[in-house]
Amino acid sequence: MAEHIRIAIAGHGNLGRGVEAAIGKNPDMRLVGIYTRRAPDQLTPLEAGTPVFGMDALPTHTDRIDVLILCGGSKEDLPRQGPELAALFNTVDSFDTHARIPEYFAAVDAPARANRKTALVSTGWDPGVFSINRVISEALLPDGVTYTFWGDGLSQGHSDALRRVPGVAGAVQYTRPIQEAMDRVRSASRPTLSTREKHRRECFVVLQEGADAEQVRNAIVSMPHYFDEYDTEVNFISADELARDHQAMTHGGFVIRSGNTSPTNAQVIEYSLKLGSNPEFTASVLVTYARAVHRMHMAEQYGAKTVFDVPPAMLSPKTAEELRAEYL
């Protein structure tokens, strides 16, 4: 086997821990360091031997790392870290604030190009493998419509919104796709679906001492953008129930395109994920794209990249000959 790809992790929350686990599943990679903003000795790596450093050690470690996987959040961490670290390292990240991706891409592209680095931004599952499927299925069936459904799964953004409602002590929110809408989409009838017809929202809420349940419910179901356009179910539970029954980080979704290749013939392409752990799957995608980033860098393809720039062969540890013989 060729030399290992030396991977490092910047940030050690759920996503960083998922990346640690994923590297262990890829024998062509080696985890050479975890970089954290906490005190390094407070962090317990999955494998006892993995070196842990403070984030400030990164600029002195540029020759030890082939690809740095950025595991910070899209709100606070990545807008600053992404451009900074792309000047020093080849990077991969999961920046997922959809509306700001073009701006973020540009901010990462300039330092990466200037320093002959390769930086793949906004991968994971959505944005990420769902995005690939939207692009490819639309290219295959130009006369058609694409639908994305999310869930069943816990939405972090909507759970956060619940927790900001006065009177709420704790909460989670599940996004559920509506079966009838999916069936209509799969029938290739190209339905026009309202927001309410595609997903419903199910909330499990722990009230603060003395809070009024009806008042909290009304505040939730009428919350603009987050809940008002959906059928939202609010269930009140105890703190113990929240801790016991609502810790799983399952998620998933569906990208479905239907289109016609002739007036009489409809075609349906469907891609779906059923994820036992949202952060661990996202982490696996980041690690797979780290392999591609390393190869693109070796091929002198510098600057910011997205999943749209990566040929499938670059994601696989197998050779082109193996892929042609075994997977076509």
Q: Which residues sit at the interface with its own copies, rule CB under 8 A?
A: 18, 21-22, 25-26, 98, 101-102, 105, 122, 127, 129, 131-132, 134-136, 138-143, 186, 188, 261-262, 264-277, 280-281, 283-285, 288, 291, 306-313, 315-318, 320-321, 323-325, 327-328
Shortest approach of its own copies to residue 66 CB, angstroms?
17
Q: Which is nearer to its own copies, 166 or 276 (CB)?
A: 276
Q: Which is nearer to its own copies, 220 or 310 (CB)?
A: 310
Residue 243 tokens read as 């801790």
Residue with tokens 């799983």: 248
The residue type at 184:
R
Shortest approach of its own copies to residue 42 CB, angstroms?
22
Q: What is the DSSP string of 191-255?
A: ----HHHHEEEEEEEEEPTT--HHHHHHHHHT-TTTTTTSEEEEEE--HHHHHHHS----EEEEE
Shortest approach of its own copies to residue 96 CB, angstroms?
9
Please give the distance of CA 307 from its chain centroid, rounded to a whole number: 12
Shortest approach of its own copies to residue 145 CB, angstroms?
14
Measure the CA–CA gap between 293 and 120, rounded to whole angstroms: 7
Q: Which is nearer to its own copies, 21 or 223 (CB)?
A: 21
Angle of helix 78-86 relative to helix 101-114, nearest 10 degrees, comes to: 20
Q: Which is nearer to its own copies, 52 or 310 (CB)?
A: 310
Q: Which is nearer to its own copies, 90 or 284 (CB)?
A: 284
Measure the CA–CA gap between 288 and 23, rounded to whole angstroms: 9
| 153 beta partners | 175
Q: Which is nearer to its own copies, 164 or 318 (CB)?
A: 318
Measure the CA–CA gap between 295 and 118, rounded to whole angstroms: 10
Per the CB < 8 A criterion, the answer to whether 119 and 108 are in contact is yes
Shortest approach of its own copies to residue 242 CB, angstroms?
20
Shortest approach of its own copies to residue 41 CB, angstroms?
25
Q: Which is nearer to its own copies, 33 or 128 (CB)?
A: 128
Shortest approach of its own copies to residue 17 CB, angstroms?
9
The SS3 call for residue 34 is strand
Per the CB < 8 A criterion, the answer to whether 141 and 267 are in contact is yes
